[in-house]
Structure 1
Amino acid sequence: MAVFALVFLAPIAYSVYLSLFRTQLIGGTTFVGADNYVKALGDPQFWSAFGRVALFLVVQVPIMLFLALLVALAIDSGRLYGASFFRISVFLPYAVPAVVAALMWGFMYGTRFGLIGNLNDLLGVSLPDPLSSDLILASIGNIVTWEFVGYNMLILYSALRVVNPSLYEAAEMDGAGQLRIVWAIKLPALRGALLIATIFSIIGSFQLFNEPAILRDLAPNAITTYFTPNYYAYSLSFRGQQFNYSATVAIVMGVITMVIAYVVQLRGMRKGA
């Protein structure tokens, strides 16, 4: 409890404290109450960043979970050759630090020095620039999907391993095919695991920071200082020296994330019931 209070509760309390003040060059630090929160709720840059990660969540998370589900079902089917090697291979990207993954993919995305540039020179074509303003969000989504498909696969695969094998045997005796077994037995058994993976993915999407922060030097025109809410809070604090407003943005985003995750959990529990 002492460690929990020190590393979790104390930083939150200090952030709330900072958000109630405003530090100015002239006048020093003054108590402003909820003024910073009113400013954040009316800040177009904050809502632009929020809309971007919301779009990222709506598109990237279903694709990632669908791929994780397919891999988990394939490994659990018992018909996949080299299933153990395949499982480790899919999970391995999760062991790569996010910073390293962003640097690696950023190099491959490069049109002047990376894989895309090499393909352009080799084939004599002009492929779309993954680091352009139009494609940067999709490029980041590709990196995140590559990183976390294996993590979510492991959650789903673990849930499948606890299903009683006698259910499969009874279904086969009744003449059910593999697709019917998946639909009638495996998918219902995965409802709780899918809910957990979805909540984790929602929280992770709203916390998006590492990939934009690393790729910004490679795509300065595509990634702004308010590309995501977390990156916006970071920029306010470490580049703009606006510590109080940065804490406010972080708290507002944290509350929004908790509310959305809680609503998704309630809806999932009601459907499960």
Structure 2
Amino acid sequence: MSTDHQTDLDQLEAQSIFILREAHARLKPIAMLWSLGKDSNVMLWLAKKAFLGHVPFPVVHVDTGKKFPEMYAFRDTYAKAWNLNLIVRDCPPVDSVDPTLPPAARSAARKTVGLKNVIDEFAFKGIIAGIRRDEQATRAKERVFSPRADGSTWDFRDQPAEFWDHFNAALPDGAHMRIHPLLSWTELDIWRYIQREGIPLVPLYFARDGKRYRSLGDQDITSPVASNADTLEAIIDELRTTRTSERAGRAMDHEREDAFERLRASGYM
């Protein structure tokens, strides 16, 4: 398709499909993280488009055991409907992670240890994750192909240059690559694409009794925001004017400023 006739969503879709195909071709074995949220559902949808309706690599849910019941029901339904090769692994208990982190960040850090265990178990060389630059300041420092050292650590001060969609997939021993096909998307792009494509979602994103979730995490560290947006159209309209942060309902984002950066540097998603 000529770019003269492509919409902005067409261009984002094409770029993400290219990234997914590059990652699949150049990194073996590889897996995709599935948080059950809107971004990872878009990422799965793009993978199905990239590979003719079939997701050709495992899909990993690192489970804290604290998700909302609606999220687990969604996982069980769509893992079957989309014929996914689903790997579910539990996170370790909170007392196994860094005790110097503030409470919500420490709870979230369980996923870091859980993901490290999955990478070790299956010797994955590539992990596809659905993060976006506009979500959080530390994530804005990421690259599309982002190498992680042995132990999953990330040096955000020393990252490879990426020009004209040329990605370096070379890795030293013990390292793996994080691939971010949604890095250039915004929250509004995600919702417009969901609307265009008819992508299924966990119903908690839609307002009920004057509240809805903009970002889904664990029940004990995630809160809804005030909203009456109960349809896709209403959510999109709301996002065009809101000044409230997408992660306003995440307790971790209201703790010490360096907590999220410490989590990301140690391997957090």
Whose relative contact order is higher, 1 or 2, with alpha carbons under 8 Å and at least 6 apart? Answer: 1
Q: Calculate the TM-score normalised by the size of structure 2.
A: 0.24
Q: Which has the larger radius of gyration?
A: 1
**TM-score for the superposition, normalised by structure 1:** 0.24
Query: Normalized per residue, which structure has more helix?
Result: 1
